[in-house]
Structure 1
Amino acid sequence: MNPLLIPIQQFVDYAAVRPEHIEQAIPTLLAKARAAVELASQDDRPATWQLVVDAVDSASEPLWRAWSVAGHLNAVVNTPELRAAYNAMLPAISEYSTWVGLHTGLYTKYRQLRDSAEFSQLSPQRQRVVALSLRDFKLSGVELKGESREAYATNSDKQAQVSQKFSENVLDATDAWSLVIHDVGRLSGVPADVLSAIKDPIKQAWTLNLKMPCYLPVMQYAQDRELRRTLYHAYATRASEQGDKAFDNSTLIEESLALRAQEAGLLGFKHYAELRLQTRMAKGAQEVIDFLRQLTEKAKPFAKQDLAELTEFAHTSLNLTDLQPWDIAFVSERLREARYDYSEDEVKQYFTEPRVLKGLFEVINTLFQVELVEYPVSGWCPEVSGYAVKTLEGRTLGYLMIDLHARSGKQGGAWVDSERSRHRVDNEVRLPIIYLTCNFAGPNGGRPALLTHDDVITLFHEAGHALHALLSEVDELGVSAFSSVEWDAIELPSQFMENFCWDWTVLQSLTAHVDTGAPLPRPLYDKMLAAKNFQSGMQTVRQVEFSLFDILIHRQLQGVSIADVMSQLSAVRQEVAVLIPPAWHRFPHSFSHLFAGGYGAGYYSYKWAEVLSSDAYEAFEEAASNSASHRQARASTLDTETGLRFRREILAVGGARPAAESFRSFRGREPKLDALLRHHGMTPIQAPSQP
Structure 2
Amino acid sequence: MTPISPDLRLVDFANVSPSALQSQVISAIDDANAFLDEMTAHTDSNHSPADVTAEQALSDVMNFDHINLALDRSWGILSHLNSVMSNDEIRHVHHELLPKLSAYGTRVGQHQPLFSRYQAIVNDKTFFAALEPARARAIELALRSFEMSGVALPRAEQEQFAAIQSELSTLSATFSDNILDATQAYFLPLKQEQLTGLTESGLALLADAGEQYKARELASGALTQADIDALPTPYYVASLNIPVYLAVMTHADDRSLRETLYHAYVTRASEFDGHTNKKGESLNNADIMGQILQLREQKATLLGFDNYAEVSLSTKMADNVAEVETFLRNLATQATLAAKQDLAQLQKYAQDYGIDDLQPWDSAYIAEKVKQSEFSLSQEEIRPYFPLPKVINGLFAIVERLYGIKVQEQSSDKTDSESTSVSRWHNEVSFYQLFDADDNLLGGFYFDLFARSGKRGGAWMSGFQSRYTYDEQDHQQLPVCFMLGNFTPALDGKPSLLTHDEVLTLFHEFGHGLHHLLTQVTVGDVAGVNGVEWDAVELPSQFMENWAWDAEGIALISSHVETGEPLPKDKLAALLAVKNFQSGMQTLRQIEFSLFDLLIHSHTPALDYDGILATLNTVRNDIAIMQTPDYNRFANGFSHIFAGGYAAGYYSYKWAELLSADAFSRFEEEGIFNPVTGKAFRESILSVGGSFPAKTNFENFRGRSASIDALLRHSGFSDVKNVDAANAKSNREVI
- Please indicate, yes or no, whether the TM-score normalized by the shorter chain is above 0.5: yes
Match of 1:295 in 2: 331
**SS of match in other structure, 1:403:** strand
Partner of 2:498: 451
- Pairwise CA RMSD: 1.5
Q: Does 1:417 align with 2:462?
A: yes
Which residue in 2 is equivalent to 1:83?
91
C-alpha deviation, 1:459, in angstroms? 0.3
Q: Structure 2 matches for 1:198-597, cutoff 5 A? A: 198-199=206-207, 200=210, 203=231, 204=233, 205-244=235-274, 246-315=282-351, 317-375=352-410, 376-426=421-471, 428-597=475-644
Name the amino acid aligned to 1:290: T
**Residue 94 of structure 1: aligned partner:** 102
The answer for the alignment partner of 2:418 in structure 1 is none
Which residue pairs with 1:14 in the alignment?
A: 13
Identify the residue that residue 627 of structure 1 maps to in structure 2: none
Matched to 1:555, the amino acid is S
- 1:450-502 deviation line (CA, Å, top 9, x unaligned): 00000000000000001001000111012123321000000000000011101
Separation (CA, whole Å) in 2 of partners of 1:101 and 1:8: 30
Distance between the aligned counterparts of 1:33 and 1:387, measured in 2? 33
8 Å CA contact retained: 1:513, 1:520: yes
What secondary structure sits across from 2:495 in the alignment?
coil
Give me the whole-angstrom Cα distance separating, in 2, the residues matched to 1:499 and 1:124: 31
Q: Tell me, in whole angstroms, the C-alpha distance in 2 between the residues paired with 1:84 and 1:78.
A: 10
Look up the equivalent residue of 2:160 and give its one-letter code: A
Is residue 349–residue 514 contact of structure 1 (8 Å, CA) maintained in 2? Answer: yes
- 1:47-58 map, 5 Å: 47=54, 48=56, 50-58=58-66
CA contact (8 A) 1:94 1:160 kept: yes
CA contact (8 A) 1:469 1:482 kept: yes
Q: What amino acid is the match of 1:408?
A: S
Is 1:168 matched with 2:177?
yes
Residue 669 of structure 2 corresponds to which residue in structure 1?
A: 622
CA contact (8 A) 2:58 2:121 kept: no
Deviates more, 1:532-541 or 1:12-21: 12-21
Instruction: Identify if the C-alpha distance between structure 1 residues 184 and 15 changes in structure 2 by more than 3 Å, giving closer, same or farther.
Output: farther
What does residue 676 of structure 1 align with? 711
Q: 1:639, 1:8 → 2: CA distance? A: 32
Give the alignment of 1:62-211 within 5 angstroms: 62-116=70-124, 117-181=126-190, 183-199=191-207, 200=210, 203=231, 204=233, 205-211=235-241
Rounded Cα–Cα distance in structure 2 between residues aligned with 1:192 and 1:161: 43
In structure 1, the residue matched to 2:682 is: 647
Deviations 1:496-533 (A, max 9, x none): 00111011111111011112111111111101111111
Once the two structures are superposed, what CA deviation does each residue of 1:279-299 show, in whole Å capped at 9, x if it has no partner? 000000000000001101100
- Give 1:686's match in structure 2, choosing from 708, 723, 730: 723
Report the CA distance between 1:557 and its aligned residue. Answer: 2.0
**C-alpha distance in structure 1 between counterparts of 2:116 and 2:323, whole Å:** 34
Which residue in 1 is equivalent to 2:413?
none
Taking the aligned partners of 2:633 and 2:620, their CA distance within structure 1 comes to: 13
Contact 2:61 2:117 in 1 (8 A): no
Q: Quote the offset at 1:12 in angstroms.
A: 1.1
- Aligned amino acid, residue 133 of structure 2: P
2:225 alignment counterpart: none
- Answer yes or no: is the 8 Å Cα contact 2:57–2:120 preserved in 1: no
Q: After TM superposition, give the deviation of residue 9 of structure 1 in Å.
A: 6.4
Instruction: Give SS of 1:429's match.
Output: strand
Report the alpha carbon displacement of residue 559 of structure 1 after superposing the two structures with TM: 1.9
Residue in structure 1 matching 2:656, options 602, 609, 618: 609
Q: What amino acid does structure 1 have at the position aligned with 2:574?
A: K
Deviates more, 1:107-116 or 1:33-42: 33-42
1:399·1:434 contact (CA, 8 Å) conserved in 2? Answer: yes
Conserved in 1, the CA contact under 8 Å of 2:243 and 2:488? yes
The range that moved more, 601-610 or 45-54, is: 45-54
Deviation at 1:447, TM superposition (A): 0.6
Distance 2:324 2:78 in 1: 35
Letter of the 2:142 counterpart: S
SS at match of 2:150: coil
Give the CA deviation at 1:322: 1.6
* 490 and 456 in structure 1: CA distance in 2 versus 1, 3 angstrom threshold: same
Aligned residue type for 2:402 = L
CA distance in 2, matches of 1:49, 1:343: 62
**CA shift at 1:310, angstroms?**
1.0
AA of the residue aligned to 1:554: H
Deviations 1:649-686 (A, max 9, x none): 00000010000000000000000000011011100313
Paired residues in the alignment total 670
Residues 95-133 of structure 1: CA distance to partner in whole angstroms, max 9, x if unpaired? 111110111111111101211353233212211111111
The alignment partner of 1:481 has SS state of coil
Shift of 1:50: 4.5
Distance 1:377 1:450 in 2: 26
Q: Answer whether contact 1:15 1:381 (CA < 8 A) is retained.
A: no
Q: Distance in 2 between matches of 1:235 and 1:454?
A: 20
1:585-606 CA distance string (max 9 Å, x none): 0000000001001100000000
Q: Secondary structure at the match of 1:400?
A: strand
Amino-acid identity (%): 42
Quick check: 368-377 or 643-652, which moved more? 368-377
Quote how far apart the aligned CAs of 1:51 are.
Answer: 2.5
Cα distance, 1:40 vs structure 2: 4.2
Task: Compute the displacement of 1:184 (Å).
Answer: 2.6
- Aligned-residue offset at 1:257: 0.5
Cα distance change of structure 1 residues 492 and 388 upon mapping to structure 2, 3 Å threshold: same
- Give 1:561 shift: 1.2
Mean CA deviation greater in 421-430 or 41-50: 41-50
C-alpha displacement at 1:198, in angstroms? 2.4
Give SS of 1:287's match. Answer: helix
> AA paired with 2:91?
R
Question: Could you say if the C-alpha distance between residues 8 and 355 of structure 1 is closer, same or farther in structure 2, counting changes exceeding 3 Å?
Answer: closer
Listed as ranges, the gaps of 5+ residues in structure 2 are 1-5, 47-51, 212-228, 276-281, 411-420, 729-735
- Residue 113 of structure 1 aligns to which amino acid in structure 2? I
Is the contact made by 2:58 and 2:118 (CA closer than 8 Å) also made in structure 1?
Answer: no
The Cα of 1:137 is off from its aligned counterpart by: 0.4
8 A Cα contact 1:8 1:61, kept in partner: no
Alpha-carbon contact 1:261-1:271 (below 8 Å) kept: yes
Runs in 1 of length 4+ with deviation above 6 angstroms? Answer: none
In 1: Cα distance, 2:272 partner to 2:714 partner: 39
SS in 2 for 1:602: coil
Q: Which runs of 5+ in 1 are unaligned?
A: 1-6, 625-636
C-alpha deviations, 1:23-46, integer Å up to 9, x for none? Answer: 211111111122223334532555
Q: Provide the C-alpha distance between the structure 1 equivalents of 2:57 and 2:253, rounded to a whole number of angstroms.
A: 66
- Residues 35-85 of structure 1: CA deviation (Å, up to 9, x unaligned): 223334532555435522211111001111111111010000000111001
Partner of 1:633: none
Q: Find the residue that maps to 2:486 and give its secondary structure.
A: strand
